[in-house]
């Protein structure tokens, strides 16, 4: 490999987990791989003991949480084992198990007051029944990267000290503010001590890389990053301290990783400090950290976008990052491309080529769709254009945070109508004034009742979030983040409360499942007179047993979202507009507003497990639809129909994100013709107001799954020779032949 | 005027440039041994039965006596099925819950087709695609094709005609003014080889290709390469093509023996060569 040796790559893998691959990507709270030098600090057990004793002591004294947490943070950083070695340009510290941060203890305390007991019980009920999942979200934050790069850790510390003093001088430093500042200052002081410790350690460790590493650490201990390597190191350090110790996940790596490093890269090359290839090596080592951390959700970072004058932000750094990523043959961190008409075609094609070779890899965020959505939620054009991606697809303006952990299962209210307000799986009552089925004589009456219930549960979802929000920084003071935002320091407020704007994400889940189920009720009960609502309820509660023919009929109805069926798409459009209107722009309790997301995260599985059989022909417990995508296997009219359905909803209704998943067979995207096809899909989606989109290029594993579960892959096409055929129309022996060929694809 | 088609395929990405919609016409003058669209060979409507997808729901039997549900499951008596030749819509296929029945053959007007063909116009424009007429052999219905292509061109749609070339020159002349590119199949130069592989002589085909070339029509040549049948023809084909002036591309289509299930579903004789 050009940019990294196999030895270095493997060593970095082992930094975060055992090299035999025996780690659970769904359960990554501590990132511990190889053993660190015992001389360099305490082991994690000792740190745990010391930390808990310290926290108990400070709690007993009634110390302010900002200070307590900062002292705990300092204890960890001061005592953790550290590592600098010959394989890795990035330092290591023995990552604390972040789930043991004090926030859980303090959250339990909060849930003891009478009002929060009620809220907790309501949250548990919603959680258990799978209608709403909500949790305090510390997972979608970003620092002000501009400030981090401009000031470095010493500058951030000095700025916090300056504003504390300013408040003192001006008489505005009350005890609350003082605690906020002390939390920040103690936190950044301990970061500085650790960087110095790293520096000292690097003088005698690090082999051939030692001089480079120690020089970098010296610069970071004295001020702002000076070159590309410094910038990558500070991104990494901020990420690790925040995510692993401060318990705030950082969901960007710079405001565009390419934009972050480009000015430094130009200077490094011009001044002869580093060559392009050397910078590529730093990038390779940097990306490998996140690959090896290996969280299931993938660490996102984005590239591209455009300047306010319309010029593309794609630069030589964008090309180099993609080139290095490709060589590493990794899938984590995950890359996002802010796509615009100004994005150069050679770069687009480079990226699309990776998409088809590497089954996806990139998420495309269309700038126009993103800008439209953010402007619809009240942001200026400039704010919208410069927006930051802080999760899978979620966007927010710079200088603000987004969070997203209120998920509404859109199909559940429909089942509650059938079951008189009781959850069909647990029997628990979720609402007790549902209209009797006998009163729902027309589809319009049924739909009206459904909409009423959607509205009711949307309010509950926001009530839950609103109840927890004021306590977030009591439970988990955002010390690092507060120090990274000047606005928060000017106000003397925690950044995750009132210090800056903090939006709340409202995830509209199982949207297509809800639409298809509404259409099935309409067609089977009200128009087709196949069954009554009572019969439908009983059939669904029996999980279609004994009524398999009806289940097949429900599945075969043409009125499914994703097929450009006008009647279905009109229902989808109305429902999308309705839920978005309820939620968008609603003020939350942490100095921000709610925004909607057509995004399900993992809830299409989690809610699915807790949702009984649905009228669209789905059986109990199965997956629900995800994102703005159709129910699996129900988009039978091809990619173009899927895109038309999605666009008919006006993606900008979903002000925080809207994502469509497109599945393609490798044979559909081969050669130059294949690039034209991918570009054609992207341009049509982008020009039609699309927001986020990603591709799934099927491989042999997927084909095997398709063979076992044909109902999930009704739209999968296979290139035979000069034409395509549907996978499900092939005999098993033909499928075997195709799988055999797919396995030979390298 | 109506045309008889057996399928419309959206997101067709191998029938000309870009993202296209392909209309498949029913009926073909050739009987290629390797034909992968047997449902396009004959003009009469046909019902295919994909047995592996049948769940014996019995819905078809409620509509048509050709279907019987017995203790052993679904029995399809083909002698009683005329493919609903005289009916606008097949009686049984829409009822089939397992998707085991597939009806091939629909009579349509240009007005019927245009809304569906225009639905993906943005995809055509953004990918350099358009609409392709294919088959079977679309030019067996040349008058209809000409009318359809004319309507498409009036809407600014790129058009392609996928042809075996075994049609009267007059048929080609009818569509010529409205066709942006011909996807022209060349299977063999040797007449005997051609006849053995397709059942017909190739003199008319090669004549038509030369005619198209002489009038400046764009031709993308497609050569299905079937080892043991026509692979020996390749040098001769390339030599023949070297004399032509308006060939935009030559594509060799690799043969795979993956259409067997269709022959079985249609109960048509399957002479597909073995795949290599």
The predicted pLDDT at position A392 comes to 86
The predicted pLDDT at position A72 comes to 95
Query: Strands A334-339 and A362-366, how do they pair?
Result: parallel
A381-395 burial: b if 16+ Cβ within 10 Å, else e:
eebbbbbbbbbbbbb
The predicted pLDDT at position B257 comes to 74
**Which of B57, B120, B126 shows the shortest C-beta gap to A687?**
B126
More confident residue, B149 or A379: B149
Whether A640 sits inside 8 A of B123 (CB atoms) is yes
**Contacts with A562 from chain B: Cβ below 8 Å:** none
Task: Determine whether B70 is exposed, middle or buried from the number of CB atoms within 10 Å of its CB (0-12, 13-18, 19+).
Answer: exposed
The predicted pLDDT at position A21 comes to 64
User: Cβ(B124)–Cβ(B25) under 8 Å?
Assistant: no
Sign of CA dihedral A219, A224, A228, A230: positive
**B23 and B145 belong to one structural domain:** yes
**B184 and B227 belong to one structural domain:** yes
Between vectors from CA A400 to CA A399 and to CA A403, what angle results, nearest 5°? Answer: 150
Among A457-471, A499-513, A712-726, B191-205, the range scoring the smallest mean pLDDT is: A712-726
**B20 and B132 belong to one structural domain:** yes
**B85 and B144 belong to one structural domain:** no
- Residue A383: strand, helix, or coil: helix
CATH code: domain of residue B248: 3.20.20.70
Whether A644 sits inside 8 A of B119 (CB atoms) is yes
pLDDT digits (tens, 9 = 90+) for A617-641: 999 998 899 899 998 878 888 899 9
Mean predicted confidence (pLDDT) in A130-139: 94
**Spatial distance between the Cα atoms of B196 and A691, rounded to a whole number of angstroms:** 54
> What mean pLDDT value characterizes chain B?
95
**B127 and B238 belong to one structural domain:** yes
Residue B175 covered by a domain: yes
The predicted pLDDT at position A296 comes to 76
**CB contact set of B86 (below 8 Å; sequence gap of 6+):** none
A681 touches chain B (CB under 8 A): yes
**What are the percentages of helix, strand and coil residues in chain B, rounded to 5?**
35, 25, 40
Whether B127 sits inside 8 A of A732 (CB atoms) is no
**B193 and B118 belong to one structural domain:** yes
Smallest Cα distance from A657 to chain B, Å? 23
pLDDT digits (tens, 9 = 90+) for A304-342: 999 989 999 999 999 999 999 999 988 888 899 999 999
**Which of A638, A721, A731 shows the shortest C-beta gap to B11?**
A638
Residue B276 covered by a domain: no
Tell me, what's the ipTM? 0.93
**Spatial distance between the Cα atoms of A145 and A254, rounded to a whole number of angstroms:** 6
Sign of CA dihedral A397, A402, A408, A409: positive
B203-219 burial: b if 16+ Cβ within 10 Å, else e:
eebbebbeebbeeebbb
Q: B184: which strand partners?
A: B163, B221
B36 touches chain A (CB under 8 A): yes
Among A350-354, A663-667, B85-89, the range scoring the smallest mean pLDDT is: A663-667
The predicted pLDDT at position A54 comes to 95
The 10 Å Cβ neighbour count of residue A527 is: 12
**Spatial distance between the Cα atoms of A692 and A335, rounded to a whole number of angstroms:** 13
- Of B32, B4, B64, the residue nearest B164 (C-alpha): B32
Residue B274 covered by a domain: no
Mean predicted confidence (pLDDT) in A460-474: 95
pLDDT digits (tens, 9 = 90+) for B71-119: 889 999 999 999 999 999 999 999 999 899 999 999 999 999 999 999 9
Query: Strands A388-389 and A334-339, how do they pair?
Result: unpaired
Which stretches within A37-96 are classed as H helix?
44-61, 65-79
**B52 and B189 belong to one structural domain:** no
What is the DSSP code string of A544-590?
TTT-HHHHHHHHH-S--TTS--HHHHHHHHHHHHHHHHHHTT-B-SS
**B178 and B235 belong to one structural domain:** yes
User: Of A645, A723, A733, which to mutate for an interface test with B (greatest number of B Cβ within 10 Å)?
Assistant: A723
Place of tokens 């090299």: A19
The separation between CA B162 and the C-alpha centre of its own chain, rounded to angstroms, equals: 8
| Residues making up chain B, counted from first to last | 276
**Which of A680, A722, A732 shows the shortest C-beta gap to B127?**
A680
Whether residue B75 is preceded by a cis peptide bond, meaning omega within 30 degrees of 0, is no
Cβ-based contacts under 8 A for chains A and B: 121
pLDDT band at B275 (very low <50, low <70, confident <90, very high): low
Whether residue A134 is preceded by a cis peptide bond, meaning omega within 30 degrees of 0, is no
Residue B57 covered by a domain: yes
> What mean pLDDT value characterizes chain A?
92
Q: B182: which strand partners?
A: B161, B219
Task: Determine whether B167 is exposed, middle or buried from the number of CB atoms within 10 Å of its CB (0-12, 13-18, 19+).
Answer: buried
**Contacts with B99 from chain A: Cβ below 8 Å:** 556, 728
**Which of A564, A640, A731 shows the shortest C-beta gap to B19?**
A640
**Spatial distance between the Cα atoms of A66 and A183, rounded to a whole number of angstroms:** 5
pLDDT digits (tens, 9 = 90+) for A564-604: 999 999 999 999 999 999 999 999 999 999 999 999 888 88
The predicted pLDDT at position A697 comes to 78
Residue B270 covered by a domain: no
| Residues making up chain A, counted from first to last | 746
* pLDDT of A148 above 80: yes
pLDDT digits (tens, 9 = 90+) for A394-448: 999 998 887 768 999 999 999 999 999 999 999 999 999 999 999 999 999 999 9
**B98 and B122 belong to one structural domain:** no
B227 touches chain A (CB under 8 A): no
Mean predicted confidence (pLDDT) in B219-248: 94
**B72 and B137 belong to one structural domain:** no
Residue B172 covered by a domain: yes
Residue B178 covered by a domain: yes
Q: Percentage of chain B with pLDDT > 70?
A: 99
In terms of residue numbers, what domain contains B21? 3-43+107-257
**Which of A553, A722, A724 shows the shortest C-beta gap to B222?**
A722
The predicted pLDDT at position A332 comes to 84
pLDDT band at B274 (very low <50, low <70, confident <90, very high): confident
**B121 and B17 belong to one structural domain:** yes
| Tally of domains within chain B | 2
- Of A728, A674, A297, A684, the residue nearest A660 (C-alpha): A684
Enter the DSSP assignment of A309.
T
* pLDDT of A723 above 50: no
What is the DSSP code string of B19-85?
SEEEEEES--S---TT-S-GGGTSSS-EEEE-GGG-----TGGGT-TTEEEETTEEEE-GGG--TTT
Residue B58 covered by a domain: yes
At which of B60, B86, B104 does a domain end? Answer: B104
The 10 Å Cβ neighbour count of residue A1 is: 12
* pLDDT of A30 above 80: no
The separation between CA A379 and the C-alpha centre of its own chain, rounded to angstroms, equals: 22
CATH code: domain of residue B63: 3.30.70.20
The predicted pLDDT at position A706 comes to 87
Smallest Cα distance from A685 to chain B, Å? 9
- 3-state SS, one letter per residue, for A251-292: CCCCCCHHHHHHHHHHHHHHCCCCCHHHHHHHHHHHHHHHHH
A345 touches chain B (CB under 8 A): no
Mean predicted confidence (pLDDT) in A23-46: 84
**B84 and B125 belong to one structural domain:** no
pLDDT digits (tens, 9 = 90+) for B140-195: 999 999 999 999 999 999 999 999 999 999 999 999 999 999 999 999 999 999 99
User: Cβ(A489)–Cβ(A482) under 8 Å?
Assistant: yes
Q: A663: which strand partners?
A: A696
**Spatial distance between the Cα atoms of B124 and B158, rounded to a whole number of angstroms:** 8
**Spatial distance between the Cα atoms of A628 and A150, rounded to a whole number of angstroms:** 39
The predicted pLDDT at position B4 comes to 98
* pLDDT of A740 above 70: no
């Amino acid at each position: 490999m050009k940019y990294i040796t196999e030895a270095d790559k493997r060593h970095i893998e082992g930094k975060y987990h055992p090299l035999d691959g025996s780690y659970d990507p769904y359960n990554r709270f501590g990132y511990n791989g190889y053993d660190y030098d015992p001389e360099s600090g305490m082991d994690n057990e000792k740190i745990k003991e010391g930390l808990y004793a310290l926290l108990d002591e400070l709690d007993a004294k009634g110390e302010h949480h900002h200070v307590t947490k900062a002292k705990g943070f300092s204890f960890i950083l001061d005592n953790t084992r550290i590592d600098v070695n010959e394989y890795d340009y990035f330092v290591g510290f023995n990552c604390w198990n972040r789930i043991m941060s004090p926030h859980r203890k303090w959250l339990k305390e909060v849930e003891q007051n009478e009002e929060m007991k009620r809220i907790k019980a309501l949250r548990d009920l919603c959680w258990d029944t799978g209608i709403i999942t909500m949790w305090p979200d510390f997972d979608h934050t970003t620092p002000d990267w501009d400030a981090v790069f401009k000031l470095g850790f010493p500058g951030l510390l000095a700025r916090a000290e300056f504003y504390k003093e300013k408040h003192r001088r001006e008489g505005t430093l009350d005890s609350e503010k003082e605690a906020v500042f002390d939390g920040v200052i103690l936190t950044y002081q301990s970061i500085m001590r650790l960087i110095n410790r790293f520096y000292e350690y690097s003088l005698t460790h690090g082999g051939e890389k030692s001089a480079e590493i120690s020089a970098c650490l010296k610069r970071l201990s004295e001020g702002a990053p000076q070159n590309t390597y410094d910038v990558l190191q500070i991104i990494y350090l901020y990420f690790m301290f925040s995510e692993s110790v401060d318990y705030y996940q950082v969901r960007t790596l710079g405001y565009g990783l390419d934009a972050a490093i480009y000015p430094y890269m130009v200077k490094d090359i011009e001044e002869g400090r580093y060559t392009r290839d050397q910078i590529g090596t730093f990038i390779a080592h940097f990306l490998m950290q996140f690959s090896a951390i290996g969280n299931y959700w993938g660490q996102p970072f984005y590239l591209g976008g455009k300047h306010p004058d319309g010029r593309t932000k794609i630069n030589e750094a964008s090309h180099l990052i993609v080139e290095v990523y490709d060589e590493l043959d990794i899938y984590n961190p995950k890359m996002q491309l802010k796509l615009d008409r100004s994005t150069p075609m050679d770069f687009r094609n480079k990226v699309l080529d990776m998409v088809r070779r590497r089954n996806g890899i990139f998420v495309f965020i269309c700038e126009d769709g993103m800008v439209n959505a953010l402007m619809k939620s009240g942001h200026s054009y400039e704010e919208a254009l410069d927006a930051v991606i802080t999760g899978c697809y979620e966007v927010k303006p710079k200088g603000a945070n987004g969070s997203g952990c209120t998920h509404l299962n859109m199909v559940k209210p429909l089942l509650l109508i059938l079951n008189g307000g009781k959850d069909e799986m647990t029997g628990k009552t979720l609402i007790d004034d549902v209209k009797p089925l006998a009163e729902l004589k027309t589809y319009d009456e049924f739909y009206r009742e459904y909409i009423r219930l959607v509205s009711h549960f949307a309010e509950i979802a926001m009530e839950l979030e609103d109840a927890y929000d004021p306590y977030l920084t009591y439970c988990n003071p955002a010390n690092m983040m507060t120090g990274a935002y000047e606005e928060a320091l000017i106000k003397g407020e925690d950044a995750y409360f009132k210090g800056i704007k903090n939006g709340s994400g409202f995830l509209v889940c199982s949207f297509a499942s809800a639409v298809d189920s509404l259409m099935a009720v309409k067609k089977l009960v009200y128009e087709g007179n196949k069954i009554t609502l009572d019969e439908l309820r009983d059939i669904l509660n029996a999980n279609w047993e004994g009524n398999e023919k009806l289940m097949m009929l429900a599945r075969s109805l043409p009125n499914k979202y994703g097929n450009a069926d006008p009647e279905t798409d009109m229902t989808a459009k109305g429902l999308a507009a309705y839920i978005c209107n309820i939620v968008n722009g609603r003020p939350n309790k942490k100095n921000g507003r709610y925004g909607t997301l057509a995004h399900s995260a993992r809830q299409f599985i989690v809610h699915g497990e807790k949702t009984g059989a649905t009228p669209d022909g789905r059986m109990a417990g199965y997956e629900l639809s995800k994102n703005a995508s159709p129910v699996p296997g129900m988009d039978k009219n091809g990619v173009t129909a899927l895109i038309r359905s999605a666009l008919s909803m006006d993606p900008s209704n979903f002000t925080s994100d809207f994502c469509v998943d497109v599945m393609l067979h490798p044979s559909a995207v081969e050669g130059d013709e294949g690039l034209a096809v991918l570009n054609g899909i992207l341009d049509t989606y982008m020009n039609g107001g699309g927001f986020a989109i990603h591709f799934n290029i099927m491989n042999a594993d997927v084909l095997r799954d398709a063979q076992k579960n044909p109902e999930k892959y009704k739209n999968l096409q296979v290139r035979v020779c000069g034409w395509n055929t549907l996978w499900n129309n092939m005999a098993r022996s033909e499928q075997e032949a195709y799988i055999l060929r797919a396995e030979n694809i390298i | 005027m109506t045309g008889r088609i057996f399928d419309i395929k959206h997101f067709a990405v191998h029938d000309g440039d870009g993202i296209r919609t392909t209309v498949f016409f029913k009926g073909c003058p050739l009987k290629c041994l390797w034909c992968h669209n047997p449902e396009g060979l004959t003009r009469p409507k046909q019902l295919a039965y994909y047995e592996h997808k049948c769940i014996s729901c019995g819905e078809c039997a409620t509509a048509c006596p050709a279907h019987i549900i017995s203790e052993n499951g679904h029995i399809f008596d083909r002698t009683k099925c005329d493919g609903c030749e005289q009916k606008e819509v097949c009686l049984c296929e829409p009822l089939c819950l397992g998707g085991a029945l597939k009806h091939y053959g629909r009579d349509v007007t240009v007005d019927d087709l245009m809304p569906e063909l225009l639905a993906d116009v943005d995809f055509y424009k953004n990918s350099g695609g358009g609409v392709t007429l294919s088959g079977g052999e679309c030019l067996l219905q040349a008058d209809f094709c000409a009318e359809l292509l004319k309507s498409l061109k009036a809407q600014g749609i790129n058009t392609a005609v996928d042809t075996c070339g075994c049609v009267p020159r007059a048929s080609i002349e009818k569509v010529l003014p409205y066709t942006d590119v011909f996807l022209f199949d060349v299977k063999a130069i040797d007449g005997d080889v051609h006849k053995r592989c397709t059942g017909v002589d190739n003199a008319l085909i090669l004549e038509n290709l030369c005619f198209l070339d002489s009038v400046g029509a764009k031709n993308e040549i497609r050569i299905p390469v079937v080892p043991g049948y026509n692979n020996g023809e390749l040098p001769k084909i390339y030599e023949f093509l070297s004399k032509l002036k308006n060939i935009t591309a030559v594509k060799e289509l690799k043969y795979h023996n993956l259409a067997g299930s269709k022959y079985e579903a249609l109960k048509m004789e399957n002479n597909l060569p073995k795949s290599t």
